[in-house]
Amino acid sequence: MAPMEPSRPHDLVLFGATGFTGGLTAEYLAAHAPAEMRWALVGRNRAKLEAVKEQLATASPQAPSPDLIDADAADREALRGVAESTRVVITTVGPYALHGEPLVAACAAAGTDYCDLTGEPEFVDRMWVEHHAEAERTGARLVHCCGFDSIPHDLGAYFTVQQLPEAVPLTVNGYVRSNASFSGGTFHSAINGFGRARQTLSAAKERRAAEPRPSGREIHSAPARIRREDRLGGWAVPLPTIDGAIIRRSAAALDRYGPNFTYGHHMVAKHLSTVGALAAGIGTGFTLAQLPPTRKLLLKMKAPGEGPSEEKREKSWFKVVFVGEGGGTRVVTEVKGGDPGYSETSKMLAESGLCLAFDDLPAKSGQLTTAEAMGDALLERVQKAGISFRVVETTETG
């Protein structure tokens, strides 16, 4: 475990505990935190924070009692004080492109580790452009995408690469299946992202121009095409989520991915008609999100803080199959878990915060991926938490 910092009264603070996913994250932390953890819940509504604290005391009476801190997500001075009071910040307050920057800025300036559950490319790229250098200077680790976006994918590809030969060109393809529905927060982030397409492209372009490339190594995206995958029982469709970009950034940062690494990210659909319906739905949502009046109507369809019942969550699942090849070896691995949008996301986010606070990690700083920042330590944590990583088969092809 990392040494405590007496000068900072908290090891970890959580923003967003009064929301649905944030509440699940608080419950998980209370149930699994070390007894000596010094922590706090942060928000703008003291009465709601008090209610969460009481619920945690009832559900996990053995847990260390959290302090309560009043702070608004837009109050930069208050956020500066919060960041300076703790070693790690966890936040579930989104959409991050609209509300997240002040907290990232405060953590980067204070040298405080930070993790969130965003899947918004614009936000991740913009935060790299604006705060990566400052975080490197202060020693802060800024780790985005610590939920279903993108831990099962990033650590799944990392786990797959570890099964393949070293120092040779590698190709990995990931195939995602799930029966879960989008969370309210994910829906709002997606609609706002559709409406900010120009800002997203601008942030990506600015980051590409400034971010250094790995020296002597090449990282590629696999060709995007729809194809039948009989072994998976369906059609593989390129999935344009942030997960593929996160995996390629991990590959760029870590030599273990080899001198030439290629990754492709896909969803698996049983029928082509499902692909067509999904494409039509996304296209309609994208078109309607371009105009403020219709975007507002879309956002009213699902509240960001709402979520399914515990019974429905217990029936939800996800599975990601990875096929890796290189150096005469072909390996198939599988990452599997329960409800991705809420139960597993809150678990993965909480374990990321605990990992940053208490584990012996690589001496790196700046904006980092989960594989780069926490790697084996986080992989061990999420496995112990019930998310399965396993090798399905290994074949010698050379």
Written as one letter, the residue type at 188 is: H
* pLDDT tens for the 398 residues of the chain, in order: 444 456 899 999 999 999 989 999 999 999 999 999 999 999 999 999 999 999 999 999 999 999 999 999 999 999 999 999 999 999 999 889 999 999 999 999 999 999 999 999 999 999 999 999 999 999 999 999 999 999 999 999 999 999 999 999 999 999 999 887 666 666 666 777 778 889 999 999 999 999 999 999 999 999 989 999 988 999 999 998 999 999 999 999 999 999 999 999 999 988 877 777 766 676 777 677 787 787 777 767 766 656 667 777 788 999 999 999 999 999 999 999 999 988 999 999 999 999 999 999 999 999 999 999 999 999 999 999 999 999 999 999 87
The sign one gets for the Cα dihedral 36, 37, 43, 48 is negative
Q: Map out the domains of the chain as residue ranges.
A: 10-147+344-381
Note the helical H segments in 20-90. Answer: 20-32, 46-59, 76-84
pTM of the model: 0.93
| SS3 at position 345 | helix
**Spatial CA neighbour of 178 closest among 368, 364, 313:** 313
| SS3 at position 277 | helix
Rg (CA), the chain: 20
The architecture CATH gives domain 10-147+344-381 = 3-Layer(aba) Sandwich (3.40)
